[in-house]
A and B are shown apart, each in its own frame.
Chain A
Amino acid sequence: MKALKYLLVKEYKQMFRNIVLPIVFIILPLAMMNVVPKVATQEVTHLNIAVVDQDHSDLSRRLVQKVSASPYFNLYASCPTYGVALEQLEKGNVDFILTIENDFEKNLYRTHGAEVMTSVNAVNGMKGGVGNGYLTQIIQQYAREISVDEGIIAAPAAEVKSRFLFNPELAYKPYMIPALMAMTLILLVGFLPALNIVGEKERGTIEQINVTPVGRVEFILSKMIPYWSVGLFIVAFSIFLAWRVQGVIPAGHVWEIFLFNIVYILTISSFGLVISNYSDNMRQAAVVMFFFIVIFILTSGLISPISAMPEWAKKVTLLNPLRYIITAMREIYLKGSSFHDLLSQFIPLTIYGIVMGLWALKSYQKNG
């Protein structure tokens, strides 16, 4: 193991003599923690809405005011007829139409019931669904208010009340930020090892190493340890940024985050090294690694929940290391789960890491 020290000195020198890499280690977490949560938000606000108020009464105006006062909606136009409003929707100026019937106020006083109609542009299904939910909430709230103020019982007979646990505002940031940390790591400490050994093959330097009696374990460790240290720096830096810039702090323990990431970095850096060992040139390694990273990110639960996937796809995600780390990171950040509760993620991730580590070792051949 004496040679390991010399090999590590070499790896660190090469890493920090590279003009680009140290900058990327700083810039990528900054971008992921600052910019991405702002631009990739799934929170829907400022939706354009057109209102067709056929009643022109006090109560109907009150509903229109309530809608336009909401941060979710932006009253784009008041239209005389539904037809005019529909034209606006077809032009793409508005995505929602709220139509209030002719005898809205009269019916409310007389029969304690009146109808409004909401029309939604569902081309973007998610935006439509979320916006419709907001609109329904506003109308229900309105019904409660007038029942108190005017004595009109217009609220629905039964009302569904939702109580959201762990993330009561359904805020996007504490949900996405832990997952973005895992993504930052695979882009750096997964991708870079994939290019490393094959890069030495291309330059021919690996021949000079292979003809020495250097141990395979030492050589692979010298490739892994630098990425471990860089990865853990990125984790610490990201936790700091999430706290200072986004105000997101983990509900659980920080040591749990580090323990998970130590295993996660072992897994993905070994994964990269395996690809590097089997590749003949850097282009090949980059394309193969890119393929896996894209598949891993799409099936990790980062974007769409795993529970919504078809059964066979759920099984496929069991082979995805990102799935375990993202689930665990979200549980640590949002729920503050105890380590015992996290074992269901920790055990498979650890097995994955060990298998990948051994494979990285086995696929490095000094004698072909």
Chain B
Amino acid sequence: MDNHVVIKAEGLTKKFGDFTATDHISFEVHRGEIFGFLGANGAGKTTAMRMLCGLSRPSEGNAIVAGFDVKDHYEDVKRHIGYMSQKFSLYDDLTVEENLKLFGGIYGMPRKKVAEMITALLKDLGFESERKTMVRSLPLGWKQKLAFSLSIFHEPQIVFLDEPTGGVDPVTRRQFWELIYKAADRGITVFVTTHYMDEAEYCDRVSIMVDGKIRALDTPDNLKKQFGGESMYDVFYALARGAKRGD
């Protein structure tokens, strides 16, 4: 396998009964890339992402993530990836520090290193005063930043972000993308889904899913040329307009 390829999906498919949520998708993601995974609601993005994270078993096909296949060695995959789900999923009855310590411990990081990293991280985010705050009382934007920081806390090779900026104000969204760029600079591959077309422009490459299939995959500039649009919005609209699914 090419050393630069960190995700390689081949005919990845998930069926729920008669319904094919993700329909034979194949693509590659390179190391250090910010890969935008676009699609209308119900296009099958989250299902595909859950398979890549080893949370869901593929019905057909397979994918190699961080050197391990998601069908049989999903627990090995999990050691090398981070994941931030669409729904906020940190423990809101634990403090900021307790959440970080818990996940640091689960990944087997040494206690001393965790303590140092927490101090550095909170300083970076300007969260020092929130160390002992219950997560439930943080504002949404802060929660999202914390969730992202936690998903890359164990320094994974790849981080999967499922609509990380949903419901977040534009300023915080901007700050959030700065965090993503920082992570990419550190060599972490970022796999991100979003509905914001300005965010799609920030990605190195973008794929667009319609009705469970990948209909386009290229850099934002090339996609605009290919579909004759001014912006990613035009590209997305041209493709997703014909979608049969969605709400």
Contact = CB atoms under 8 A, between A and B. Distances in A.
A26 interface: no
A211 B54 contact: yes
A6 B85 contact: no
B128 to A, nearest CB: 22
Interface residues of B, number: 30
Contacts of B87: 204, 207
Interface string A1-31: 0110111011001100110000000000000
B83 interface: yes
B142 interface: no
The SS class assigned to the A binding surface is: helix
Contacts of B93: 13-14, 17-18
Contacts of B57: 367-368
A203 interface: yes
B74 interface: yes
A347 B55 CA distance: 38
Contacts of A18: 93
Nearest to B54: A367
A6 B85 CA distance: 22
A366 interface: yes
Contacts of A167: none
Interface string B99-117: 0011101111000000000
Contact of B81 (A2, A209, A211): A211
Contacts of B56: 367-368
Contact of A6 (B82, B92, B101): B101
Given A6-B105, A14-B91, A213 B85 contact: no
Given A212-B78, A212-B103, A367-B55, A205 B108 contact: no
B107 A10 contact: no
A208 B94 CA distance: 14
Given A10-B94, A208-B85, A213 B75 contact: yes
A23 B94 CA distance: 20
A205 B98 contact: no
A280 to B, nearest CB: 14
30 contacts: A2-B105, A2-B108, A3-B105, A3-B108, A6-B101, A6-B105, A6-B106, A7-B102, A9-B98, A10-B98, A14-B91, A14-B93, A14-B94, A203-B89, A204-B87, A204-B88, A205-B91, A206-B89, A207-B89, A208-B83, A208-B85, A208-B90, A210-B55, A211-B82, A213-B75, A213-B107, A366-B54, A366-B75, A367-B55, A367-B56
Ranked 8 nearest A-B pairs via Cβ: A6-B105, A204-B87, A204-B89, A211-B83, A208-B89, A213-B78, A213-B79, A3-B106
Given A14-B94, A207-B85, 17 more contacts: A10-B102, A13-B98, A14-B93, A17-B93, A204-B89, A207-B55, A208-B83, A211-B55, A211-B78, A212-B106, A213-B78, A213-B107, A214-B106, A366-B54, A367-B74, A368-B56, A368-B57
